[in-house]
Amino acid sequence: MAKVINIQPITRIEGHASIHIQLNDQGNVQETKVAFKSLRGFEKFVEGKPAEELPRIVSRICGICPWMHHIASNKAVDACFNVTPPPAGNLLRELMLTIAHIEDKLLHFFFLAGADFFWGPEYDFSVRNIMGLVKANPELAEKVIRMRHKAKMVLDSFSKKTIHPVAGVPGGFVKPLSIEDRKIFIDNVNELLEFALFALEYAKKNVFPKFDESYPGLGEITTGFIGMVDNKGSLNLYDGNIRLMKPDGTSKEFRPDEYLDHLAEKVVPFSYGKFPYAKSWGEGFSMDLDAPKGIYRSNTLARINVADQIATPRAQAELEEFRDLYGRPAQSTLLYHYARLIEEVYTCERAIEILKDPRIINPEVRAKVEPCAGRGVGCVEAPRGTLIHDYTTDEKGLITRVNLIVGTTHNLAPINLSVDRAARDLIKNGVYDDAILNKIEMAVRAYDP
Amino acid sequence: MPIKLAGESLNACSGCEISILDMGERLLKLLEFVSIIHFPLLMDSKQGKNNSRIVKLPKADVGLISGSIKTDEHLELALAMRDSCDFIVALGTCATHGGIPALANSFHNEDLLEYCFNTEGTDKTDGFPSHIVPELLDACYALDEHINVDIFLPGCPPHPDHIFRALQSIDKNESFSQSKKSVCDNCPATRDGKGQVKTLKRALELPRWHAGDDKKEGFKCFLEQGFLCMGPVTRGGCGGDKEHARCIMTQIPCRGCYGPVKKESNQRLSMLNALASNGIDISSLPETLSMLRFSGGHGLLRPLPRIKES
Amino acid sequence: MPSRFEPIIIGFLCNWCSYTGADLAGVARLQYPPNLRPIRVMCTGMVHPDLVMEAFSQGADGVMIMGCHPGECHYLEGNTKAAVRAKVISVILQDIGVDPNRFELKWISSAEGSVFAQLITDFTMRIQKLGPHKVKSCEYRDRETIR
Ligand code: SF4
Ligand code: SF4
Ligand code: SF4
Ligand code: FES
């Protein structure tokens, strides 16, 4: 008999979403929908606010990646007001963004998604989580909690407010970094780098091998990818061009402020989140599992797929190993986790690089700002993907129009496809259990939405 | 017996939950006297059995709710939490006062939908999402506009010190209290009295912050330097048990994220009143609605009337 | 025929001038509508905007503040303070959907009994035209159902 399976809410993710699987009379999957249920209206309700206040407002879009919104917003306001931050201001912004990435990846891998792999999707749900890890492997858990906290405290000691930050300001950064702080940070980030390398080794031994054994092809789809690269084609999280890669591996590059020529968004009836697609491929949009159109993905796997290389040595070595195994572009959905830990190594290395840059302690951290009419696009890579803030101001510098494409939204269509794929593969003749449903959710968690 | 804790987040950003994790190693201590039995961000407990839209939550001693109420689903969850938990803690300024998302209360829902689904770059649509997605309520409400709340923990997000202390006090059966003072009350700024400020500057430049002539740490009150600082009308304590206010110590004025000093007051009215009473021209800032950016619930922000009252 | 709408008007009257002016109007048996509920305060300078907002949220249809003429405040600057606050009150009223015409600040000296009577007459008529002020919280969920 035809019926609908609701998985509600999807757990261990940020945000509010649910899965609805429509079965046909034979008990096989007919249609799958992943609904994104939050509509807060940021784009509208910031109207009329002074642009310089936005970095302190829009961070509330997400409490897990507030730094990325904060900094993308600052960049957009800079562009509206035509200012360029001095080098130290830019470096400090990038430093904060990078350390926030370090923290986020630990959070996602160990606190949210990891539990599926440490125990397996069928394990008792009351244990299958970070609290369970504390009981089962207190040593590892304690280390994870301490390391994540260490990254957080580096941000905290300098910028005080780490959730919904205030330290980035239009024109640059609020204050310079002292020589003493710089030294302490380098020590701390070095420790984080060591942990990142340990975590990657650990996962290569204990987690990634399970992907093929236990979840062959879970939620696997073939899509294009999006991510930012610098002028040498290397992975960059703070600045650069957006590279949009087709499923066949060919790609096009464009400046962030040209995004409207390449991307468009579709409104679907079952989700408050809009579904972006690659307009410039000229094939339209379709979520047909057998012939998807315009679908590309963002987030870790996407970034390491579009980048030609990573400019730091340890992460580059890991990337080469990864590519030897899975090719480029790698498509398997669970590989997001692998890519995440490679990026973890990169962010630690990059943070040290930034800290060692002699310009970082320059006391000149902010350029003078005058409000004016303008339009500006601010773009950074958030953990969940290419984050675009596009603002327009009037001559007083008040906001008249805002368009936001948030990292996660790029992945909304792919998440739908992956979940559909997983559901079709796992639910047969009306047979399913909690473990199967959790496996289907794992297809969502890989994307870390 | 550890206390059983359930958590739900409504119209929220997850920042409040991350603030719980920011307790760091105290998290391990917390887990000694708290047992988490429902918490969608961290564990897989579902709202009910598959297939049913009826929300059924496990019985708990304490329910932490973050976020405001903006959809019928949020409302349903809030009510279910109230029914299944002995204590309800409103976690964060969204839950206590509406928070940033309550800025949406300045607009009608149709205007929000109309705008968000018609931005440049969005393909033309003939309808807004209406299938499966929850229905929007007429406003973004603070929790206590719909359910009784036992402990209010404002802050965007609340400091981990306060969250820890609140849970500890429930465990030990003690009463929980928090600062009744304003951010200014324990601000290290030097203040010389009213000063000569007649207008306020926008946050386009930074207030001066200096080590002082005699090498003493010190800075002049931001308001007295002519910058809007919401310190006077904002509940103090955001720096936690030991530190000063967080934005102030980052060298930037307060924007009011801990909500009003007295739970019921109107931050914007109090601030404008304070400015006006001190001879500062309140029209010198381009807009003042965003003085309610954290506390626009409780009917304080409303859609500007389209049709005038006749 | 429906009975005429009788608005509730709250007046904050300063002790030294306006209240005395009101008294005078009474003694002189001047006619003015009975809708005003006067509240005697020592000085308009002590009427915090919160009180005005409170009056509206408790169901007042109109609110007036009346004090001494500029320069004649017995506490020197109370009424100038009231004047700047009146601006604040108008701004806030507008944003919460209350017509700012429902609020008025006026100066009345102790000798101006007839001016007082005229003012109250005009203001009452103005509020009658505006109609009842619906306390907006009725849009909100019925408080009784709070659990
Ligand atoms: S109070 Fe702040 S941190 Fe908490 S949910 Fe609301 S916006 Fe996020
Ligand atoms: S107004 Fe701001 S800077 Fe001045 S004392 Fe208050 S909190 Fe401190
Ligand atoms: S200073 Fe003000 S805005 Fe900043 S954290 Fe404290 S209360 Fe919030
Ligand atoms: S004493 Fe009458 S207004 Fe001050």
From B11, B43, B47, residue closest to A129, measured CB to CB: B43
From B19, B68, B94, mutation site for ligand 1 pocket: most ligand atoms within 8 A of C-beta: B94
Its sign, for the CA torsion B128, B133, B136, B141, is negative
**Is the Cβ–Cβ distance between A336 and A208 less than 8 Å?**
no
Task: Write the residue with the smallest CA distance to atom 6 of ligand 1.
Answer: B94
Q: What pLDDT does C98 receive?
A: 85
Q: What pLDDT does B51 receive?
A: 47
Q: What spatial distance separates the first Cα and last Cα of chain A, rounded to whole Å?
A: 33
Which pTM does this prediction carry?
0.93
pLDDT digits (tens, 9 = 90+) for A329-341: 999 988 999 999 9
pLDDT at A73 over 70: yes
- Which element (helix H / strand E) includes A306? helix A300-306
Q: How confident is the model at residue C145 (pLDDT cuts 50, 70, 90)?
A: low
pLDDT digits (tens, 9 = 90+) for B225-240: 999 999 999 999 999 9
Mean pLDDT, to the nearest integer, of A65-93?
97
pLDDT digits (tens, 9 = 90+) for B211-228: 555 555 678 999 999 999
Which two three-digit tokens encode residue A423?
């559901």
CA dist B198 and B275 (Å) reads 9
Q: Tell me the ipTM for this assembly.
A: 0.90
Closest atom of ligand 2 relative to the B231 alpha carbon: 7
For chain B, what is the radius of gyration of the CA atoms?
A: 21
Task: Determine if residue A316 is left, alpha or beta; phi over 0 gives left, psi from -120 to 50 gives alpha, anything else beta.
Answer: alpha
CA dist A159 and C38 (Å) reads 53
DSSP 8-state secondary structure symbol assigned to residue B66: E
Q: Is the preceding peptide bond at B232 cis, omega within 30 degrees of 0?
A: no
pLDDT at B310 over 60: no
Across all residues in chain C, what is the average pLDDT? 87
pLDDT at C142 over 60: no
Please give, rounded to a whole number of angstroms, the shortest distance from the CA of C129 to a CA of chain B. 8
- What domains are there in chain C, each with its CATH number? 9-140 (3.40.50)
Q: What pLDDT does B91 receive?
A: 97
CA dist A22 and A28 (Å) reads 8
**Is the Cβ–Cβ distance between B67 and B95 less than 8 Å?**
yes
Close Cβ partners of B64 (under 8 Å, ≥ 6 residues apart) = B5, B6, B7, B8, B20, B89, B91
- Beta pairing class for B34-38 and B3-9: parallel
Q: What pLDDT does C146 receive?
A: 63
pLDDT digits (tens, 9 = 90+) for C47-95: 999 899 889 988 899 999 999 999 899 988 889 989 989 989 998 888 7
From B144, B279, B304, residue closest to C95, measured CB to CB: B304
pLDDT digits (tens, 9 = 90+) for B138-168: 999 999 999 999 999 999 999 999 999 999 9
Q: What pLDDT does B194 receive?
A: 59
CA B95 to centroid of ligand 1, rounded, Å:
8
Q: Which residue has the higher pLDDT, A306 or C145?
A: A306
From B179, B221, B244, mutation site for ligand 2 pocket: most ligand atoms within 8 A of C-beta: B221
Our answer on whether the CB atom of A363 is closer than 6 Å to any ligand 1 atom is: no
Q: How confident is the model at residue B308 (pLDDT cuts 50, 70, 90)?
A: very low
Q: What pLDDT does A125 receive?
A: 78
CA dist A7 and C140 (Å) reads 32
Please report which ligand is nearest the Cα atom of B70. Answer: 1
Q: What percentage of residues in chain A have a pLDDT greater than 70? A: 99
pLDDT digits (tens, 9 = 90+) for A174-208: 999 999 999 999 999 999 999 999 999 999 998 89
Mean pLDDT, to the nearest integer, of A344-368?
96
DSSP string, A185-233: HHHHHHHHHHHHHHHHHHHHHHTHHHHHHHSTTTT----EEEEEE-TTS
CA dist C54 and B205 (Å) reads 37
Inter-chain CB proximity C53 and B269 less than 8 Å? yes
Alpha helices, H only, C28-103: 49-57, 78-95
pLDDT at A83 over 50: yes
Across all residues in chain B, what is the average pLDDT? 89
DSSP 8-state secondary structure symbol assigned to residue B295: -
Pick from B34, B23, B27, B251: nearest CA to B158: B23
DSSP string, A384-447: TEEEEEEEEE-TTSBEEEEEEE-HHHHTHHHHHHHHHHHHHHH-BTTB--HHHHHHHHHHHHTT
Domain covering B3-107+137-171, topology: Rossmann fold (3.40.50)
- Domains of chain B: which residue ranges? 3-107+137-171, 179-303
From C87, C94, C97, residue closest to B276, measured CB to CB: C87
pLDDT digits (tens, 9 = 90+) for A120-142: 777 777 788 888 888 888 888 88
pLDDT at A259 over 60: yes
Task: Write the residue with the smallest CA distance to atom 8 of ligand 3.
Answer: B257
pLDDT at C1 over 70: no
Of all residues in chain B, the one with the smallest CA distance to A278 is B121
Asked if C128 reaches chain B (Cβ–Cβ under 8 Å), the answer is no
CA dist C9 and C139 (Å) reads 23
Q: What percentage of residues in chain B have a pLDDT greater than 90? A: 66
Pick from A296, A331, A117: nearest CA to A203: A117
Nearest-5° Cα angle at A226, A223 to A232: 130
Determine how many CB atoms are found less than 10 A away from the CB of residue B244.
17
Q: How confident is the model at residue A1 (pLDDT cuts 50, 70, 90)?
A: low
CA A163 to centroid of ligand 1, rounded, Å:
9
Please report which ligand is nearest the Cα atom of B246. Answer: 3
